[in-house]
Amino acid sequence: MLAFALSQVAGLTRQILVTNAFGTNPAMDAYNAANSFPTLIFTLVAGGALASAFVPTFTALLTRSEGLSAWRLASSITNLVTLLLTALSFVSVIFAPQIVHLLWPKYEQGTTIRLLRILLITPAIFGVSGIVSGVLNAHQRFFLPALASTMYWLGIIFGLIFFVPSMGIYGLAWGAVLGSVMHLSIQIPDLLRLPKRHYIPTLGLREPSVREVGMLMGPRLLGVATVQLNFLVNTIIANFLPLGSLAAIGYAFPIMTMPLVVIGSAIGFATLPTFSAQAARGEFGELRDSLTASLRGVLLLSIPATFGLILLREPLITALFQHGNFTALSTEMVSWALLWYTVGLVGHATLEIVARAFYALHDTKTPALVGAGSMVLNIALSILFAYWFDKIGQMPLGGLALSASVAVFLETGTLFILLGKRLKAMQGKKLAQGTGAALLGALVMSASIVLWLQSMKSCSALITTLGGVVMGGIVYGLTLVVLRVPEVHNAVRALRQRFSQ
């Protein structure tokens, strides 16, 4: 979580520099559109689909003390992913004009095409880096893989400082390429320290473990493809919205993901190898305990984060971004989108845990089908809500954000019910108690933040935001102490033990 928090600080710094340099002007729309296609290629081949299939299979082999087979699997998947991503990127470079004209006819064609060709360098690099992360996670090594995202943001920051002044928006793209190289490089030292590591130059198409990964990836690819299709549809819908809408959404979503990554992604990142090992040993009671503890932790952190981010969103955006080309109108647009994205924060965070429990059980089909249904609904709701918001006189980009929040809650709820049937018990009472404590604490915290905002109207946005975060956190923590929430007392005990050593 510390490494993920550091990543979010670096990502926020990158966001501030980007907004100052480009604001919500058309060049940023072109970059966001161009960047979505390499992201689609990477995610389909080696993103969430590979992680959900490779890590459980690799972990199971290690658990059974089949180290050589595990490394043969890792080598095969690395070779296959590298070849496939390189080939897809090469073909996409050739047909970049046709891709841009088909998907984003409203944006400046030459700029978007050139940006797309630069950014297509990154998928293969990220593919190898993702496999290295999976290998390290299976060996219970988390810090450097979690730090990889920080290195990616630092690469972009380097590009903003040194490339953009002379290269414009293309400097931002080259910074992303540099960041992808750093994303991989930071993990290599940990990989070299692993015992009995092997690299085998084989595709392993006849290996049972490779085929198992392929079979597990199949259903998951459906879900991932639908998610990325939804992102593409949003960029297409944004073609018909006021200029700057896509850029505003591109700024708002990463702000919402800051607490999501630190809370949901960090906990999910660390739980998948543990879930997988417990499932491989048939320890389903222990798996239920681990799952319940993880979900309670996520709820106790994500619920107050949701309330706080909604209340402090405007001074936060003003303090961070309203400089240079980022105007008051830009703040209004981003704040509106952030409001509706944040509504779904709890759903996104709990989904990170619930989905990984299915992956640990070597079931990628159920999350994929549910996710596909959810994303199809998301696409329909995006069109409906954008139209509805426009009809009632509100900025239609808020409809795109609200549709994502509604869809993720339905997806998480459905998976939670199905997982309960699969594990025969979900310790619902403990989860309900944790949710109730988090809601009560968040309400008390929200009241204190509202009073703070009313008393600080004449102060700067930065002081208002920082003060609200600190005060809200203290009030929420004290409320949990009064409610005798076990996680708080366990955390205090652990800290005392650590500092007494």
- Candidates 446, 433, 439; CA nearest to 486 is 433
DSSP string, 215-266: HHHHHHHHHHHHHHHHHHHHHHHHTTSPTTHHHHHHHHHHHHHHHHIIIIIH
Amino acid at 62: L
DSSP string, 266-284: HHHHHHHHHHHHHHHTT-H
Q: So what's the pLDDT on residue 227?
A: 64
Q: So what's the pLDDT on residue 309?
A: 94
**337-355: b (≥16 Cβ within 10 Å) or e:** bbbbbbbbbbbbbbbbbbb
Which residues of the chain fall short of a pLDDT of 70? 24, 47-52, 218-232, 235, 239, 498, 501
Q: Give pLDDT tens digits for 164-203.
A: 999 999 999 999 999 999 999 999 999 999 988 888 888 8
- Candidates 264, 280, 291, 295; CA nearest to 425 is 291
Q: How far apart are CA 90 and CA 392, in angstroms?
A: 45
- Candidates 276, 284, 262, 426; CA nearest to 345 is 262
Instruction: Please provide the distance, in angstroms rounded to a whole number, between the alpha carbons at the two ends of the chain.
Output: 22
Which residues have a Cβ under 8 Å from the Cβ of 228 and sit 6 or more positions away? 36, 39, 40, 43, 44
Tally: H helices and E strands in the chain:
22, 0
DSSP string, 125-174: HHHHHHHHHHHHHHTT--HHHHHHHHHHHHHHHHIIIIIHHHHTHHHHHH
Q: So what's the pLDDT on residue 26?
A: 82
Contacts of residues 231-236 at CB distance under 8 Å and 24 or more positions apart, as own/partner, are 231/36, 231/39, 231/40, 232/36, 232/37, 232/40, 232/103, 233/379, 233/382, 234/382, 234/400, 235/32, 235/33, 235/36, 235/103, 235/104, 236/103, 236/104
Whether residue 160 contacts residue 175, with contact meaning beta carbons closer than 8 Å, is answered with yes
Q: How far apart are CA 385 and CA 341, in angstroms?
A: 13
Domain boundaries, the chain: 26-221
Look at the alpha carbons of 383, 389, 393, 396 in this order and tell me if their dihedral is positive or negative: negative
